[in-house]
Structure 1
Amino acid sequence: MSAYSLTDSPSIVLRQPHPLPDWNGVGRETLVNVLRRRHEQHPEKTALIEGKRSLTYAELWEQIRYQQRMLRRAGVVPGQVVAICSPNSLDMSTLFLAVMALKAVPFVVNYRIEVLGDLSQLNVVWFAVPRTSIAIRKQLASEPYMEQHPFDARFDLFRNTCPTRTTADDTALLVTSSGSSGNAKVVQLTNSGTLFNIRANVQALNLSPDDVTAIALPMGYSYGLVGQFLSHLYVGATILLLDPMFFLHQMVWLFGRHRVTTLFLVPPMVRQLNYLHDRKLLPADFSTLRFVAVGGNRIETTAIRKAMQVFGCPVIKTYGLAEAGPRVATHPVYHSADPDVESVGLPNRGVRVQIVSDEGEELLPGKIGTVRIHSPSVMMGYFNAPACPSHRPHATIMTKDVGYLDSQGRLFVLGRKGDQFQAGERTYWFREVENVLYAHFAFLKVALRHQESQIHIAAIAMKDYPVQETDVHERLREAFGPSCNRLFVFTLMRTNTLLNEK
């Protein structure tokens, strides 16, 4: 039986907020020291689970101290960047925290390393690679500027001998901003800013030590790392690390066994799970879930309503970007009839969102403009792009998102600048095309882009999903008129793997 009925009152699901420390008293304390002090309160509680392996919080810090000594012995010093080229795992998690404990700067890279461009120019001194990652090890070993050093039973270290620069004093960690083109940008987040963002996120989601979260999102991106992993670690929750390759299979038996209470997804994962549920291929027990959080990109209302039926719990829409630390706004959707379901919610505590004109003037509620974010967790700057403008905590980020605030301060995002096109006498947003396609077809992901005078639409579907391109064009004609025959170019791709990136 589900723990949440779509007709229940939200008060049945919500717990009383847990008291939070003084947010303005962060000072110069480091994230890792705050975590250590908080975990001393419950040393025997299970911290991390991966397969048949697990660590209590006491064992976690014992492993962190051991790896910290090994890092120091290998020559890693404070301020140097250590890229951890590993999928989500128990060993990657402890090494990440050990790097922080040494006051070096961890940088999780659990995606294709090629997106980082020329590694010799990346300013990363060390690359930690699992001994099982043969392809990455061969790639790094083939570079003349890399020196290989054994580290422990599970990792080797590769040292970049090219000249590198150090990070700013308060840099806690690096994350990747999932840019839309070119090489990925590497974002510097501070200790004070990241602590602020975690505490605001903990309050917005009402996380507690009683929670058990299942992680399948790549922790190389800020949503999985800060929004889920570090936020649950901060409250002393239990973290279940899942293998994305076997996530769908693991859900069936792990969720009930470990009584998972929170799950974080990106929109393609939600659509994929909705599709599998419709085909009766998702016999997992979701009865212990308190909520499912969705972020990383826009999600359509039809997918949210379906997910509430699949999981039997509220869906929490989240909004943010790596450059902002990352979490910005939160909207818990308790009922499928929520009249404001299109909103990404109210700003998190301590965050201010404005809508501004092209001239930078703040606009009144209901007026459409560019989203500007004020937050103490704003990045220090782009680590691999020093020519880009730097930022400091308490500064602002001018996004490329276009939207408006309602009279209650809730944020509605319409799209990104340039995400519009003309059909007949009307101007449409890309999201209107997405809404049509998601409403009529079980696509996992739809992406639109301008190319010359046409709009190219790329869609991804499961391999066994029956769909004809003629049906797609027919739906587009119904929605946007006969002129779209020449306007839209449609391409369909198919997959059987988990889409755990936005």
Structure 2
Amino acid sequence: MYDVLSPGAILPQAAMRFGDKPALVTSTRMLTYREIDAESDRVASALKACGVHPGEMITLYAQNRWEWIVSYHGVLKAGTVVNPVNVMLTPEELSFVLRDCDSAAVFTSSEQAAAVVALSRQLPSSPFVVAFGEAKDAPEGAIAFTDLTATEEPVSVFGPDPASPCTIGYTSGTTGYPKGAVQSHRAVALNCALTATMHGRTEYDIVVTALPASHVYGNVAINGTLLVGGTVVLMERFAADEALRLEQHRATMFEGVPAMYATMVAHPALESADLSSLTRCTVGGQTIPVPTVLRWQACTGAPLIELWGMTEISGLGTTHVVHAPPVPGSVGVSLPGVEVRIADLSDVTKEAPRGEAGELMVRGPLVMLGYHNNPEATAEVIQPDGWLRTGDIALMTGTGHVFVVDRRKDMIITGGYNVYPAEIERVLAGHPAVAMVAAGPVPDAVKGELACAYVILAEGAEATEEELIAFAGESLAAYKRPRLIRFVDDLPRNSTGKIMRRELINYGSDR
């Protein structure tokens, strides 16, 4: 249906088909397909005028906003490579990324621009800084976005080799310095197209999301919708009360991470929210307890489609076909043309027995080209036969449905037994007093580690530590039960809303 070999070709083709139809809606502006295509043309022309050459890296470092989306497509139209950066990165972390990928320019918000300008002057590449917004808001040393794009010069869309680098997305760096996963144009474009197909997106869809555009899940949600001519309503950041006002947009889809849904089903505004326009929703980024899925579906009448993906495959690797029978708790089946397998935990060259947990492996056109300037790290995760080690523990049923158990690195080892935090979270989420829960290890002199659950209680609800531990014991083996409960008001999260389990150990206190 589409001859799209690069995500940079999405807007030109969509503009020809959908013209004055709304493409992107934010709190400050609505752009039609024709307008968003023209705005991104101006970014491409400006980059060329600034002497940026095809193949160079351009960093995008800001919260969700219309200029971010326009810049993403403008960078690709100029033949340059997008480096989408998590807005929560510290200056030190940002400095590493800019230095590692030798960025030629940084697009950022006016609020962050002064700090980025100071940082850029310390880098060998001396990237120029573009501040989103008006000229009056740009600090000294930065170029205002409105000034940069004040051009009517025509631009010819760059026609890349589909196998060449398109984006470079850095991992969180929890085990050391971040690694830049380099994705091809083919991989990014295919992920958008295949995801749109699996979820049944059409030009009649209105998709509301607060997923960061810098994250692969957010990118696929946004560009998969633009690919088919739908309308994206992009929230700057997630707020439950705002997200629940979906009726003002007549949204057909909402896309988010588990913490967003857990927050919404526990929010007082849910009772009066009109969610009748929703036809399906998606959730990914982390395992979600089945009770949360069922609560959301009961409130909306729309299926909540689970999915799994990662930076190293440019987005999704598995999800459900929208009209297929539901399989609660599963992240679905592999995308078309993508292979998945479950490897033995002690030897990834061998298959784990069907139905037993092992490491999830992926192979196919979505797998990254490698980690930027890091062949050793690339060789650690991509096997000689092309299989990518994901680091996720999963099992597969006879129908090919994948159930993610947990992250291998998040595993709690207590008294020699392996305990997966997601198992504890799934069970405790079913308690009526629990609004949100995360589990992690705490040191123990005898058993090495103990499982601790960090619980946010539902508004007006009460529960004791003993009560919740006993509740978990009804469904979990003795060694899997949490030994401690810590009641907290919030949980540490990253920019996507995913709970950061590694920060839990010093979070909250016993009650």
* Amino acid in structure 1 at the alignment position of 2:100: L
- 1:45, CA displacement in angstroms? 1.0
- Mapped pair 1:92 → 2:63: no
Q: Any stretches of 5+ residues in structure 2 without a counterpart?
A: 145-160, 499-511
* Root-mean-square deviation over aligned CA pairs: 3.6
In the aligned structure 2, how far is the partner of 1:52 from the partner of 1:420?
A: 43
> Which of residues 132, 146, 149 in structure 1 aligns to 2:111?
132
In the other structure, the counterpart of 2:454 is 459
In the other structure, the counterpart of 2:391 is 400
In the other structure, the counterpart of 2:193 is 199
In the other structure, the counterpart of 1:294 is 283
User: Structure 1 residues 432, 333: closer, same or farther in 2, change over 3 A?
Assistant: farther
Q: Tell me, what secondary structure is at the counterpart of 2:430?
A: helix
In the other structure, the counterpart of 1:118 is 96
- Mapped pair 1:354 → 2:341: yes
* Amino acid in structure 1 at the alignment position of 2:13: R
* Amino acid in structure 2 at the alignment position of 1:331: H
- 1:353, CA displacement in angstroms? 1.1
- 1:493, CA displacement in angstroms? 3.3
Alignment of 1:273-288 (within 5 A): 273-276=264-267, 279-280=268-269, 283-288=272-277
In the aligned structure 2, how far is the partner of 1:377 from the partner of 1:275?
A: 36
In the aligned structure 2, how far is the partner of 1:203 from the partner of 1:408?
A: 20
In the aligned structure 1, how far is the partner of 2:54 from the partner of 2:357?
A: 45
> Which of residues 217, 227, 233 in structure 1 aligns to 2:226?
233
8 Å Cα contact 1:177/1:221 also seen in 2: no
**Could you give the per-residue CA deviations for residues 16-72 of structure 1, whole angstroms, max 9, x where no partner exists?**
xxxx45xxx87xx43212442233111111111112511111111111111222222
In the aligned structure 1, how far is the partner of 2:242 from the partner of 2:40?
A: 27
* Amino acid in structure 2 at the alignment position of 1:268: A
* Amino acid in structure 1 at the alignment position of 2:194: A
In the other structure, the counterpart of 2:489 is 494
In the aligned structure 1, how far is the partner of 2:479 from the partner of 2:386?
A: 45
- 1:497, CA displacement in angstroms? 10
8 Å Cα contact 1:171/1:189 also seen in 2: yes
In the aligned structure 1, how far is the partner of 2:390 from the partner of 2:75?
A: 31
8 Å Cα contact 1:423/1:480 also seen in 2: no
Q: Tell me, what secondary structure is at the counterpart of 2:23?
A: strand
Identity of aligned residues (%): 22
- 1:408, CA displacement in angstroms? 1.4
* Amino acid in structure 2 at the alignment position of 1:198: C
User: Structure 1 residues 224, 153: closer, same or farther in 2, change over 3 A?
Assistant: closer
User: Structure 1 residues 309, 135: closer, same or farther in 2, change over 3 A?
Assistant: farther
In the other structure, the counterpart of 1:69 is 45
Q: Tell me, what secondary structure is at the counterpart of 2:226?
A: helix
- Mapped pair 1:435 → 2:426: yes
8 Å Cα contact 1:355/1:403 also seen in 2: yes
Q: TM-score, normalised by structure 2?
A: 0.79
- 1:474, CA displacement in angstroms? 4.7
- 1:395, CA displacement in angstroms? 3.1
- Mapped pair 1:60 → 2:53: no
**Could you give the per-residue CA deviations for residues 370-427 of structure 1, whole angstroms, max 9, x where no partner exists?**
2211121101112264542266999321222222222211112222336555778976
Alignment of 1:26-425 (within 5 A): 29-114=5-90, 115-116=93-94, 118-119=96-97, 121-123=99-101, 124-133=103-112, 136-137=115-116, 140=119, 143=122, 146=126, 153-154=133-134, 156=142, 170-178=164-172, 180-226=174-220, 228-244=221-237, 247-253=239-245, 255-276=246-267, 279-280=268-269, 283-331=272-320, 340-357=327-344, 358-359=346-347, 360-383=349-372, 385-389=374-378, 395-417=386-408
Q: Any stretches of 5+ residues in structure 1 without a counterpart?
A: 1-19, 159-166
**Could you give the per-residue CA deviations for residues 219-242 of structure 1, whole angstroms, max 9, x where no partner exists?**
22111112x011111111111111
8 Å Cα contact 1:218/1:501 also seen in 2: no
Q: Tell me, what secondary structure is at the counterpart of 1:389?
A: helix
* Amino acid in structure 1 at the alignment position of 2:341: Q
8 Å Cα contact 2:244/2:269 also seen in 1: no
